[in-house]
Structure 1
Amino acid sequence: MNDPESHLNAAVPVEMAGRRFDQVLAELFPDYSRSRLTTWIKSGDARLDGATVAPRHLVRGGEAVALRVRTEREVGAEPEAIALDIRHEDADVLVVNKPPGLVVHPGAGNPAGTLQNALLHHDPKLAGIPRAGIVHRLDKDTSGLMVVARTMRAHTSLVEQLSARDVHRQYAAIVYGAMIAGGRVDAPIGRHPHDRLKQAVREDGREAVTHYRVRERFRAMTLVECRLETGRTHQIRVHMAHVKHPLIGDPQYGGLLKLPKGATPQLVEALRAFRRQALHAEKLEFLHPRSGKSIAVEAERPADMEALLAALRADTREHAR
């Protein structure tokens, strides 16, 4: 199913004479990404003086440009009345605080009940934006902040900011081991060679950089702050396991539950009850696609992480006596 077509028209400014058609189109219609505009040039949906030309065609200035915009609706995602914790909302963007357990996109095993379904119910116009405006993702069992584009202009801007590493993403994680100091993990990540559901540090992987610092130490575990320089799948989970401090509760990269020697009954109970990776996207900062102003949003740690931290603090106090 497609949105109704829209037709946009413009004239090539004389000062753009001698430039490529795809470059001119990107400046005339900044709401759309260069790759999308190039596709429309090749399909004949972007015409110059009524003619289909190549993206590399050099304009002379003064020509008429006609652009037929055909935005495909999302397939397989229906609106669902799922509650959203919205932390920022305006005409261009939404910032939502995703709870643990909520899948971001419909897919195999999760055909419905996702964040994307919830967004389509909250704003039906998101059906005309790629992936209902979702430009980055969090794992199902990771909680925290995500930014959503409500217009094509915002979508293009946010994708470009993410690509240029201009979006600040900060996480709180609880890891195994009493870490002494923070550091930087610069280790490429790619598909695990034997398990297609996992990622791994590998020489032929894509560049991946994570910065971390100690926020609070416990007897055998540590609360750390992680900042992403890149955004690879499972990046923090893979990188912290790589430096021998896997996330508590992480079934894929943390291994079996490890109980600290002499742990209090309360800590044992809290660790056994914590069934997800202890990871929360607590801060998100980006430039507003329309105003250019910095937007910074924060979200408190969810109740399950706070309960685990309370048990860790009590255990640490108990053994300090």
Structure 2
Amino acid sequence: MEDLNSEDFTAGAVFHVGEDDAGKRVDAFLSQALSVSRSRAQKILETTTVNGQFVKAKITLKVDDEVVVPPFEIDSEAPVGATPEELERAPEVPILYEDDDMMVIVKPRGVTVHVGAGETGATLVDILRAQGKALSSVGPAGRAGIVHRLDKDTSGVMLVAKTDAAHWNLAAQFEARQIEKHYIAIVNGVPTPRGRIEAAIDRSHTNRKKMTVTPGGRPSITEYEVLKSWAKFALLDINLLTGRTHQIRAHLTYLHHPLAGDSLYGGFHRALTCAPSERASEAINALNGQALHAYTIAFAHPTTGEPMRFEAPLPAGFNELVEALDEAT
């Protein structure tokens, strides 16, 4: 199923307790793992199981305990809607296609798709509403129209539903893996010309913000092809066959080829160290995140069934890094 939770777990999650979390109260663990308040964690705990059993908040966890969190709604007290000042600072969202049922948009880098714990500023939902766009009403108000998502610092093409019928249809296509998504990425090092990564992914036990390849995680498949290479970098076309949280970032790190600019997964410092010129160093710094862009998406129109395909142009900062690497060759 397309992973609808990039930075949160409202669609549900399974955690396996590691040594760092052993001995913690279960409500404290959930508060940290889900990025919610302690009181909110205690509410979520009412439907959460530990090793298949419902438990009280005060119990402490042991290594290898399995904590299963069912889907839960975003906190009703969470603010929905950006301030006028936040909307003024927000970038415009380009629209590649629009009809009565749906939109195909280009999400700018640095924009969070929807409201979530710890996030501030105008979300994609806020910006589209400010542009006067109708959005589906499936799910919480702060997630109106959102069928899938991209990480905050990943730019590129996205589908947005305007009607509930379109929302459910597109969601079903994602779940059936009938939607084809390709990404362009710049990675550290040069991988083999083509590859298929089949490696399960789960939340890191040492850093809750990261995902990692680990036995027992969610099955994940990524295919890639090297389009161009330089001495210590490569440009990849990536076909995402499953849609796990941070899947591309975790899989490429597993191959020891983290994304250039990705500070969370070690790709930023390595890219700066290997930059062949001052211009390339400046371009890596200017990315303000990972060099990853969702550039094509293909699907069936949710009402007519017509095959559709759209491409989002590479952002300027991405092109600047490519040109800087070309220049230094």
Which of 62, 75, 80 is equivalent to 1:77? 80
Shift of 1:260: 5.7
Structure 2 counterparts to residues 269-284 of structure 1, below 5 A: 269-284=282-297
Looking at structure 1, the residues matched to 122 and 214 of structure 2 have their Cα atoms a distance apart, in angstroms, of 34
Shift of 1:275: 2.5
> Secondary structure at the residue paired with 2:276?
coil
Looking at structure 2, the residues matched to 273 and 162 of structure 1 have their Cα atoms a distance apart, in angstroms, of 33
Looking at structure 1, the residues matched to 274 and 176 of structure 2 have their Cα atoms a distance apart, in angstroms, of 45
**In 2, are the aligned partners of 1:78 and 1:120 still within 8 Å (CA)?**
no
Which of 192, 202, 219 is equivalent to 1:207? 219
Structure 2's unaligned 5+ residue stretches are 1-75
> Secondary structure at the residue paired with 2:169?
helix
> Secondary structure at the residue paired with 1:126?
coil
Matched, 1:228 2:225: no
> Secondary structure at the residue paired with 1:219?
coil
Structure 1's unaligned 5+ residue stretches are 1-72, 317-321
Partner of 1:14: none
Matched, 1:95 2:104: yes
Structure ID, larger Rg: 1
Looking at structure 2, the residues matched to 77 and 230 of structure 1 have their Cα atoms a distance apart, in angstroms, of 30
Looking at structure 2, the residues matched to 242 and 87 of structure 1 have their Cα atoms a distance apart, in angstroms, of 34
Shift of 1:313: 0.6
Partner of 1:150: 162
Looking at structure 1, the residues matched to 101 and 184 of structure 2 have their Cα atoms a distance apart, in angstroms, of 28
**In 2, are the aligned partners of 1:77 and 1:112 still within 8 Å (CA)?**
no
Matched, 1:268 2:277: no
Looking at structure 1, the residues matched to 267 and 186 of structure 2 have their Cα atoms a distance apart, in angstroms, of 15
Which of 96, 105, 110 is equivalent to 2:119? 110
Looking at structure 2, the residues matched to 266 and 118 of structure 1 have their Cα atoms a distance apart, in angstroms, of 33
> CA RMSD for the aligned pairs?
2.1
Cα distance change, pair 267–122 in 1 and its aligned pair in 2 (3 A): closer
Shift of 1:315: 1.0
Worse-matched range after superposition: 248-257 or 130-139: 248-257
Partner of 2:182: 170
**In 2, are the aligned partners of 1:189 and 1:200 still within 8 Å (CA)?**
yes
Which of 202, 218, 228 is equivalent to 1:216? 228
- The TM-score normalised by the length of structure 2 is 0.70
Letter of the aligned partner of 2:292 in structure 1?
L
Cα distance change, pair 256–283 in 1 and its aligned pair in 2 (3 A): closer
> Secondary structure at the residue paired with 1:257?
helix
**In 2, are the aligned partners of 1:213 and 1:225 still within 8 Å (CA)?**
yes
Shift of 1:257: 1.5
Partner of 1:134: 146
Shift of 1:204: 1.1
Deviation track 1:13-42 (CA, whole Å, cap 9, x = no partner) reads: xxxxxxxxxxxxxxxxxxxxxxxxxxxxxx
Shift of 1:124: 5.9
Letter of the aligned partner of 2:252 in structure 1?
M
> Secondary structure at the residue paired with 2:244?
coil
Moved runs in structure 1, 4+ residues, more than 6 A?
A: none
> Secondary structure at the residue paired with 2:208?
coil
Shift of 1:125: 4.1
Looking at structure 1, the residues matched to 291 and 163 of structure 2 have their Cα atoms a distance apart, in angstroms, of 33
Aligned residues: 244
Partner of 2:309: 296
**In 1, are the aligned partners of 2:183 and 2:295 still within 8 Å (CA)?**
yes
Looking at structure 1, the residues matched to 319 and 233 of structure 2 have their Cα atoms a distance apart, in angstroms, of 14
Structure 2 counterparts to residues 302-313 of structure 1, below 5 A: 302-313=315-326
Looking at structure 2, the residues matched to 144 and 105 of structure 1 have their Cα atoms a distance apart, in angstroms, of 15
Deviation track 1:95-119 (CA, whole Å, cap 9, x = no partner) reads: 1101111111112332440101112
Asked which structure has the greater RCO (Cα within 8 Å, sep 6+), the reply is: 2
Looking at structure 2, the residues matched to 163 and 195 of structure 1 have their Cα atoms a distance apart, in angstroms, of 28
Looking at structure 1, the residues matched to 278 and 113 of structure 2 have their Cα atoms a distance apart, in angstroms, of 35
Partner of 1:192: 204
